A and B are shown apart, each in its own frame.
Chain A
Amino acid sequence: MGYSFGRLAERRHYRSILRREAELRRVPVFATRYLPDDRATHAETTLVMGNVVISVDYFKRFLAGLRMLVGGRLKSYETLLDRARREAVLRMQEEARRLGAQSVFNVKFETMSISKGAKNTVGSVEVLAYGSALIVARSLSA
C-alpha cells in the first residue's frame, strides 16, 4: 500500500513541481553573491525563504534498507531530496513574487534530517532555501 500511494504522491508532486517551475521562471534565482551593476542601485532587498518537510514512504525506506547492505546509489532518497529542494526553492520564489521582486540573489540551502537515527521511523528531511529578493521600483524597472 505504501508503495502505490507513495509512488502516486511522488508523481503528482513532480508534476506540480514542473508546472510551477515553468510558471515561476520569470523570477530567476541566482547563487551569486554580487548584484549586477545596472540593478544594484535604486533597488530594495529583503530576505525571502521557503521551507518544506518531506518524508519517504514505507516501501522506499525498506528498499533503501536493502540497498544499504550492498552500498551504491540510494535512488529513493535521491528523489526525496530533489523534490524537497525544488519545492523549497519554489516556495521562496512564490514569496519573492508576492513581494513584487524581479529576482533572488545569493540563494543558500540548509538541510536537516528530522528523525535521524530514530528507531522505527521513516526518514524525513527539512530543506530551507533562502536568499535576497531584489525589488526594483516599478517606475525604474521599465
Chain B
Amino acid sequence: MLMTNLESVPGRNVVRHLGLVQGSTVRAKNVGRDIMAGLKNLVGGELKGYTELLQEARQEAMDRLVQQASAVGANAVLNVRFTTSSVAQGAAEMLAYGTAVQLD
C-alpha cells in the first residue's frame, strides 16, 4: 500500500477514486510510564515513554487506515493527514485519514 500526503503520485495516474478512508485509535497512558514521566516533568526535557506510546498509537491508526483501504480495493492512499485530540484526561485519540485510490 502506497501512502503519501501529496495529492498525486509522480509518474502514475489515478484510475479509480474510492473515497475517504480512515483509521483511528484511542489510547490511555500507562501507569509505569506515567510515573517516569512525572519525574522527568520536574526537570523538563523529552518524555521518551510518551514519544514511543504515541508513535505506537499512530502506527496502529495507520494500520487500520491501510486495512480499510485494502478492503475497498485501493492500492494507494493519497493526501494522508494526521490529527490528534485528547478525549479525556490522560487519553488521546489518533486519527489518520486519506483518499483511497487505485493507481495504474
Contacts and interface: CB of A to CB of B under 8 A. Distances in A.
Contact of B41 (A108, A124, A131): A124
A44 B103 CA distance: 13
The B interface is mostly helix, strand or loop, or mixed, namely: mixed
B46 A130 contact: no
Scoring B6, B47, B83, B85 by chain A CB atoms within 10 A of each residue's CB, the highest score goes to B6
A9 to B, nearest CB: 5
B28 to A, nearest CB: 12
Contact of A5 (B10, B44, B85, B86): B44
Interface of B: 2-7, 9-11, 37-38, 40-48, 50-51, 54-55, 58, 80-86, 89-90, 92
21 contacts: A1-B42, A42-B11, A43-B10, A43-B11, A45-B2, A45-B6, A51-B51, A51-B54, A51-B58, A52-B46, A53-B48, A55-B37, A55-B45, A58-B42, A106-B6, A112-B86, A114-B86, A117-B89, A124-B41, A128-B82, A131-B5
